[in-house]
Amino acid sequence: RNPEAANHRRRSSHAPLLVYYGSSALIGRDFRSPESVEMDEIMAAMVLTSLSCSPVVQSPPQTDQAPAVSSSSMDMECGGGELSDSGSSGYWSWDHGNVSPAPSPSVTEADSSPDEGLPMEMEQSDELNAKRPKSSFRGVYKCLWPNCGKVLTSSVGIKRHIRVLHLGGSEQSHREEDFYYTKISCEAVDTSATQSPSPQQQQPRSNSSSGPGHSKPSTLSQSAPSSFWQIHSEHLYQACSPIQVSVAPRSPTAQPWAPSMVKPRCRSVSVGEQWLQQNRLQPVSASPSRTHCSFRKGRSEAKKCRKVYGVERKDQWCTACRWKKACQRFPD
DNA sequence: TCTGCCGGGCT
DNA sequence: AGCCCGGCAGA
């Protein structure tokens, strides 16, 4: 595709990472006024947008990096988080409502791109999971609604979020929320350094473009978003095979942000899908035949024509046996 | 290696 | 539909 678009894509996938670094710094300086922080965020995002085209910037975080406050551009990278720590609410999220205009045009463009949709989001998230420094997160819940990606730490919170914002708060959507969020836990193992079981926090995305999405929740409330179903059907397909959590050995020199390293390992399963699997529901339309789900019937103990009559008296075999089909004379 | 039979091609 | 066979997988 055109290089400019590719560049935007690269940038947009980098920006959240930097933002994340910023978030840790942000926590360290929460004594600052929100306005000041917000201005810094905007400034930082702008600077980062112009600086973060090179993967070098994306080098794994120095977790012991001091979150000093200064006006240098380097500090912007550390302190330019857009992540707001909701503090008293008990969760942090990406929810900025409709605050400032999108600080990073590239992010906005990527988010609003119609063909990127949720898969891109997941991809991005997975990518980020591998890069994120260790933290003490247990597990978080991410909204799967297109262009939302809100992350909360409580299932109640995410359900409420989905019900209110996306499902229009209708009561008929009871339990439906389950299908629109995913629990992210440590199964997205960070293999870059250790196999630490500590769950990784799902990286929230800028909602600078989700503003419009949030502004029309009622129109979406009665039917699932198409991209969601795309994901969901994919899950169903994948559900035929066990979820792969194991980790392939990896070159120590491999770049932790290489998507190919991360994507196959990290698969978030929506709670709804988990429910489906637990309840042994089958995909509605999918035919299981000719997939790896179909298994060959185990060999029976019964003797068939071949054994009974032998190859010499093949003419006495049943037709099916002669045709190498399932024996009809001595069925299982 | 033997056996059962699925999947698919040919007539 | 009838016939045949390559090839897979369990014993």
How many domains would you assign to chain A?
A: 2
Q: How many CA atoms lie within 13 A of A206 on its CB side?
A: 30
Residues A215 and A316 in one domain: no
pLDDT of residue A48: 52
pLDDT of residue A222: 36
> In which residue are the tokens 């054994």 written?
A307
Residue A319 has pLDDT above 60, yes or no: yes
A82 in a structural domain: no
A36 in a structural domain: no
pLDDT of residue A83: 35
Answer whether A321's CB lies under 8 Å from A305's CB.
Answer: yes
Residue A241 has pLDDT above 80, yes or no: no
CA angle A30, A34, A37 (to 5 degrees): 75
Q: Which residue has the higher pLDDT, A279 or A309?
A: A309
Q: Which residue has the higher pLDDT, A183 or A69?
A: A183
Residues A258 and A314 in one domain: no
Residues A268 and A306 in one domain: no
A298: the nucleotide nearest its CA (via C1') is C10
CB neighbourhood size of A248 (10 A): 9
Answer whether A48's CB lies under 8 Å from A104's CB.
Answer: yes
Name the nearest CA neighbour of A163 among A175, A151, A149: A175
Per-residue pLDDT band for A176 (boundaries 50, 70, 90) equals low
Minimum-distance residue to C3 (CA–C1'):
A323
Residues A150 and A246 in one domain: yes
A213 in a structural domain: yes
A204 in a structural domain: yes
Question: Where in the sequence is the domain holding A111, given as residue range(s)?
Answer: 87-278
Residue A180 has pLDDT above 50, yes or no: yes
Question: Please, what's the b/e burial string for A177-205 (b: 16 or more CB within 10 A of its CB; e: otherwise)?
Answer: bbbbbbbbbbbbbbbbeeeeeebbbbbbb
Residues A182 and A316 in one domain: no
Q: How many whole angstroms separate alpha carbon A324 and alpha carbon A201?
A: 56
A320: the nucleotide nearest its CA (via C1') is B5
Work out if A299's Cβ lies within 7 angstroms of strand B. yes
Backbone angles phi, psi at A151, to 5 degrees: -120, 125
Q: Which nucleotides of C are covered by protein (CB under 7 A)?
A: 3-11
Work out if A303's Cβ lies within 7 angstroms of strand C. no
Minimum-distance residue to C8 (CA–C1'):
A296
Residues A200 and A327 in one domain: no
Average pLDDT over residues A286-300: 43
E strands, A85-158, in order? 140-143, 151-152
Average pLDDT over residues A105-115: 36
Residues A312 and A231 in one domain: no
Work out if A327's Cβ lies within 7 angstroms of strand B. yes
Per-residue pLDDT band for A41 (boundaries 50, 70, 90) equals low
Å from the A240 CA to the B11 C1': 38
Residues A183 and A317 in one domain: no
Work out if A323's Cβ lies within 7 angstroms of strand C. yes
Minimum-distance residue to C9 (CA–C1'):
A296
A38 in a structural domain: no
Average pLDDT over residues A18-35: 37
Å from the A330 CA to the B7 C1': 22
User: DSSP letter at A181?
Assistant: E
Work out if A313's Cβ lies within 7 angstroms of strand B. no
Average pLDDT over residues A272-279: 40
pLDDT digits (tens, 9 = 90+) for A61-107: 333 333 333 333 333 333 333 333 333 333 333 333 333 333 333 33
Answer whether A18's CB lies under 8 Å from A48's CB.
Answer: yes
A218 in a structural domain: yes
Å from the A25 CA to the B9 C1': 67
3-class secondary structure, A305: helix
> In which residue are the tokens 């400032």 written?
A100
Per-residue pLDDT band for A161 (boundaries 50, 70, 90) equals confident
A162 in a structural domain: yes
Name the nearest CA neighbour of A235 among A156, A118, A129, A137: A118
Residue A330 has pLDDT above 70, yes or no: yes
**Mean pLDDT, chain A, whole residue set:** 47
Kindly give, in sequence order, each residue whose CB lies less than 8 Å from that of residue A203, ignoring residues fewer than 6 positions away: A16, A17, A20, A124, A125, A128, A129, A132, A151
Residue A308 has pLDDT above 80, yes or no: yes
Backbone angles phi, psi at A172, to 5 degrees: -70, -10
User: DSSP letter at A296?
Assistant: P
Q: How many whole angstroms separate alpha carbon A306 and alpha carbon A322?
A: 9
**Residues listed for chain A:** 332
Name the nearest CA neighbour of A94 among A217, A203, A167, A180: A203
Work out if A321's Cβ lies within 7 angstroms of strand B. yes
A237 in a structural domain: yes
How is A274-289 classified by DSSP, letter by letter? HHHHHTTPPPSS---T
Residue A19 has pLDDT above 50, yes or no: no
Residues A163 and A216 in one domain: yes
Per-residue pLDDT band for A186 (boundaries 50, 70, 90) equals very low
Residues A170 and A201 in one domain: yes
Work out if A292's Cβ lies within 7 angstroms of strand B. no
Q: How many whole angstroms separate alpha carbon A273 and alpha carbon A220?
A: 20
pLDDT of residue A179: 65
Work out if A239's Cβ lies within 7 angstroms of strand B. no
Residue at a domain's end among A263, A278, A293: A278
Å from the A288 CA to the C1 C1': 26
Residues A197 and A264 in one domain: yes
Residues A115 and A202 in one domain: yes
